Structure 1
Amino acid sequence: MLLTDGAGAPRGRFGWRRRIESLDPVRDHQEIHRITAGFEFPWDYTRSLEFALFRTYCVPSISALLARTGEFERRPQKRYDDTALLMAELVEHGYDSPRGKESLRVVNRMHGKYEISNADMLYVLTTFIYEPLDWIERYGWRPLHPHERIAAFHFYREVGLRMGIRDIPTDFQELYRFKADYERKHFRHTDEVHAIGVYTRDLFCSWFPGPARPAVRVGVHAMLDPMMLSAFGFRPAPGWVRSVAEAGLGVRARALRLFPPRRRSKSTRDPRNRTYPGYPVGYRPGDLGADRDRGSTRG
């Protein structure tokens, strides 16, 4: 049974961490992951998953498929919101809940329309596990508890099984090695990779006022590693830009240590969602997806 908002909310800044420590990371992985992503690090999970998706576009077969669908060229904001909200539904309600099952049906319906290799599907799954964990270790307001890392692995492994992904390793380190090897073998520059990279970068920039967008563009480049910059064909940002960005994230982390524990999960409540205003109020997971047009398609 997953927590409800405000139910059993802990006292003290490290109360949720104590709760996590008391749980079994395998048996209780859904509850632990909801605490981590929805209560403790919602902003970090959102930002890191933005860059996780960005990372997958360095694989030519993935970018070529996205280019063929035309979704990124026509409606990049909608595709971003669909993916973010469907994954958030699984975190918020659990993958075997009614809303979780509905979300998985939407995901599987969308993927089922295209020929996608099992290896590409598995690689994308790995980014949902490891990119947020790495981000939080660098920029989070506290270190992750080992239970949180194990819980994230088991959560997305179960999601992957329900998506029909085959040959998912049962070991945390083995799957991480698969991710690293896949990137070394498959990241490379193509016209489609570059085009999808530009669409995604420009989407990020569109969330800011016009005068700030050139600076945001440089900031995005500063947060990409050399493998991603090479694949996208982007010019590296000056070293001082990354230093400033990381210093700012460090200040944010230190400030957050002074905040009280969050009492309400923010998994599905992202103010940057422009396609489905007010989500989740008035919406079902079945309203989401590239073949659904309910709501605004701005962006």
Structure 2
Amino acid sequence: MRHRDRTDEPHDDYSAFRRAVQFDLAQDINAGFVSAYFRSFATPDSARVLMASGAMQSDPLKRATDTGVVIYELIANGFDHPRSMQMLELLRRVHKGLPVTADDYRYVLLSMLIVPYRWCARYGIRPWTTEETAQGVAFFTELGDRIGIDRLPPTMTAMEAFFDQYETDTVRPSPDSHTLVLASLDVFRFQLTGPMRLLRFLAPQLLSATVEDPRICHALGIPPAARWTRALLHTSAGARRAVNRITGPRRRLFFTPGAPVGAYPHGYRPSDVGPERTKL
């Protein structure tokens, strides 16, 4: 278990949340992050901004990889690490002056917390513990403070209420949303590994099951989740729970800063992440 007892971990208040992300619930939380990434396309204003950047169309795998790398770097290293400082500066830079509301920012930030939280409750090997939940809320609240997204709801219950009301008020179909999904389907296919690789040709149907909410599917222009895809997710979840009871949680880090990942098959430097400054 020496990989789980790292002496170079940050000395902050997020150790239980970090352990869940890196070890105990790593695959489930990552699946939630993927679902949250696509869910953010479902509001017309956000979809329009994403389309205007051009990154989703020109290099969707890099755009998706960068989104994940930023969050994982911050979780793995803590907010005060030099690498994290670069990630925070990147977030402030790329979001500065965008034509979106404060609630738009809050929704996208909270999606990275709430969607994995709900995914683990529904399909994970177990739900989050009370400690993991409290630390997850505190982590994303601090992240918001550091990049200028303030006045987040104070509890998970209040955050979920805001999240659900925002979707009720703003989610609806748009041509931009559908275009973003089509441009990013290969990113979703890339996430299907192991036995699921054989089902990559069914990516739209599997994405629907991952998103699950019929309103979001309609807004994204993908078919609603079918019974067989929902059954597949539940069956897969049951199998992973059974395996976990035998093997226990993973013993190696899920994410290692700088290691090969996604669009960076040979590894990356913090300066590689995000759009080129000259394009902003």
Residues 1:260 and 1:129: Cα distance change in structure 2 (over 3 Å): same
- Alpha-carbon RMSD across the aligned residues, in angstroms, is 2.6
Q: Deviations over 1:86-120 (max 9, x none)?
A: 11000000012222112111111111263332111
- Is 2:20 the partner of 1:36? yes
Task: Report the TM-score, using the length of structure 1 for normalisation.
Answer: 0.82
* 2:200 alignment partner, one of 213, 220, 223: 213
* Aligned residue type for 1:223: T
Note if contact 1:189-1:232 (Cα within 8 Å) is conserved in structure 2: yes
* 1:79 alignment partner, one of 46, 49, 63: 63
Which segments of 5 or more consecutive residues in structure 1 lack a partner in the other structure?
Answer: 10-26, 294-299
What pairs with 1:150-169 in structure 2 (closer than 5 Å)? 150-169=134-153
Task: Report how far residue 28 of structure 1 moved.
Answer: 5.5
Note if contact 1:57-1:63 (Cα within 8 Å) is conserved in structure 2: yes
- Is 2:107 the partner of 1:123? yes
* Aligned residue type for 2:252: R
Q: Partners in 2 of 1:286 and 1:230 — Cα distance? A: 37
Residue of structure 2 equivalent to 1:188: 172
Which segments of 5 or more consecutive residues in structure 2 lack a partner in the other structure?
Answer: none
* Aligned residue type for 1:286: S
SS at match of 1:57: helix
- Is 2:44 the partner of 1:60? yes
Residue of structure 2 equivalent to 1:114: 98
Task: Report how far residue 50 of structure 1 moved.
Answer: 0.6
Which has the larger share of helix?
2
Q: Deviations over 1:34-83 (max 9, x none)?
A: 11101111111111101011111111111000111111111100000111
Q: Partners in 2 of 1:292 and 1:267 — Cα distance? A: 26
Residue of structure 2 equivalent to 1:240: 228
Note if contact 1:205-1:217 (Cα within 8 Å) is conserved in structure 2: no
Q: In percent, how many aligned pairs have the same letter?
A: 28
What pairs with 1:7-46 in structure 2 (closer than 5 Å)? 7=5, 29-46=13-30
- Is 2:217 the partner of 1:229? yes
Note if contact 2:177-2:219 (Cα within 8 Å) is conserved in structure 1: yes
Task: Report the TM-score, using the length of structure 2 for normalisation.
Answer: 0.87
Deviates more, 1:166-175 or 1:79-88: 166-175
Residue of structure 2 equivalent to 1:12: none
